């Protein structure tokens, strides 16, 4: 598959592993790629929903690892900003929020450690990937269809319906919000595998990824927790003087700020998520992605 800045395609003829947000966390990125190998899922069936370099201590090593792995990658807002050597991460945080203040600490660290070749590679990543799996067509994006840094959560019915309509497909695979969930609305799917580089604000240090598998009766979607050496990743963050809130989050499983969360998601803070499976019985005929 050739990746461009506009669109690309991906066909899954076997199980497909999806993950988001490596966030400069080398230990977590090594672990999730090892999961793909353990499950005998080839690189061209592995999809990352973006934000390779962010909060953690190893932006360049993570970019190198993902690039060398040969997996599919959707451009996230962090890739967009780093490729342009922008002044900030473009995460969509409200001005003056705790998340925005923290980004003024970690983003310069990442921006100063990414080489020119990586910026060019990130700038050429597709903003969307049309995914064919089990006779269905899904659109892989980072945040929203038209806004790369839009936060879409499991309880955001209006946003989900709007984005699914804009996608013009059977479903969407997205990232950005940092939380794993799968929702079906009027027969269409919204799937977020979660992220590996930060916990899911559930009081555990685990990251999250998913596996999509085509079956005779539909597509099986399994959400999996990822264990890795979070203590080592946190130690390196502290050694580099990165924000303590994010280093502590790797250990406590709680985000340093919840500015972006909806009230229902805020109420679920600290409640441990459980691996689970969802069966998606989609319509027989799939419309082409717009």
Question: Domain residues for 141?
Answer: 8-280
At 175-233, the pLDDT tens digits run 999 999 999 999 999 999 999 999 999 999 999 999 999 998 899 999 999 999 999 99
Flag whether 195 is in a domain.
yes
141 occurs within a structural domain = yes
- Reply yes or no on whether the pLDDT at 4 is more than 50: no
Q: Are 46 and 16 in contact (CB under 8 A)?
A: yes
Strands (E), 128-238: 129-133, 136-140, 171-174, 181-185, 188-192, 207-215, 218-226
2 within a domain of the structure (yes/no): no
Whether pLDDT at 100 is above 90: no
Is residue 286 in some structural domain?
A: no
| d(C-alpha 224, C-alpha 210), whole Å | 6
Question: Is residue 103 over pLDDT 60?
Answer: yes
Q: How far is CA 287 from CA 7, 125, 139, 219, in A?
A: 17, 25, 11, 17
162 falls within a domain? yes
- The whole-model pTM stands at 0.93
pLDDT at res. 283? 62
Residue 289 lies in a domain: no
Range list of H helices, 175-277: 230-239, 244-252, 263-267
- pLDDT at position 86, please? 83
pLDDT at 21: 98
Pairing of the two strands 46-48 and 16-19: parallel
Please state, in angstroms and rounded to a whole number, the distance separating the CA atoms of residues 133 and 129.
12
How sure is the predictor about 1, in pLDDT bands with cuts at 50, 70 and 90?
very low
Does 197 reside within a domain? Answer: yes
Distance CA 54, CA 63 (A): 11
Which pLDDT score is estimated for 195? 98
Distance CA(43)–CA(45), nearest Å, equals 5
Number of domains in the chain: 1
- Which token pair is 135? 């006779």
pLDDT digits (tens, 9 = 90+) for 149-180: 999 999 999 999 999 999 999 999 999 999 99
CATH number for the domain that contains residue 182: 3.60.21.10
The answer to whether residue 3 sits within a structural domain is: no
- Asked whether residue 282 carries a pLDDT value surpassing 60, the answer given is no
Asked if residue 15 lies in contact with residue 44, where contact means CB atoms within 8 angstroms, the answer is no
Confidence of residue 6 (pLDDT cuts 50, 70, 90): low
Alpha carbon distance 205, 198 (integer Å): 8
Residue 141: partners with Cβ closer than 8 Å, 6 or more residues away: 49, 74, 127, 128, 148, 167, 172, 173, 174, 175
Question: How far is residue 212's CA from residue 43's CA, in Å, rounded to a whole number?
Answer: 14
């Amino acid at each position: 598959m050739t990746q461009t800045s506009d669109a690309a395609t991906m066909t899954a003829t076997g199980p497909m592993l999806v993950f988001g947000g490596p966030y400069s966390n080398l230990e977590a990125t090594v672990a999730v790629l090892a999961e793909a190998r353990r499950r005998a899922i080839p690189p061209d069936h592995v999809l990352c929903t973006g934000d390779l370099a962010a909060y953690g201590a190893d932006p360049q090593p993570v970019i190198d690892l993902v690039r060398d792995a040969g997996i599919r990658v959707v451009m996230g807002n962090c890739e967009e900003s780093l490729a342009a050597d922008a002044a900030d991460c473009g995460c969509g945080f409200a001005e003056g929020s705790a998340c925005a203040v923290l980004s003024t600490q970690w983003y310069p660290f990442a921006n100063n450690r990414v080489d020119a070749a990586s910026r060019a590679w990130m700038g050429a990543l597709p903003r969307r990937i049309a995914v064919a799996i089990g006779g269905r067509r899904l659109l892989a994006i980072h945040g929203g269809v038209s806004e790369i840094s839009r936060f879409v959560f499991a309880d955001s019915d209006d946003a989900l319906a709007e984005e699914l309509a804009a996608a013009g497909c059977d479903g969407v695979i997205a990232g950005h919000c940092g939380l794993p969930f799968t929702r079906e609305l009027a027969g269409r799917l919204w799937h977020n595998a979660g992220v590996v580089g930060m916990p899911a604000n559930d009081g555990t240090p685990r990251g999250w990824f998913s596996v999509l598998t085509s079956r005779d009766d539909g597509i099986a979607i399994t959400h999996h927790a990822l264990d890795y050496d979070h203590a080592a990743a946190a130690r390196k963050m502290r050694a580099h003087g990165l924000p303590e809130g994010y280093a502590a989050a790797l250990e406590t499983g709680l985000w340093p700020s919840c500015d972006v969360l909806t009230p229902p998601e805020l109420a679920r803070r600290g409640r441990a998520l459980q691996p689970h499976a969802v069966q998606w019985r989609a319509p027989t005929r799939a419309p082409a992605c717009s």
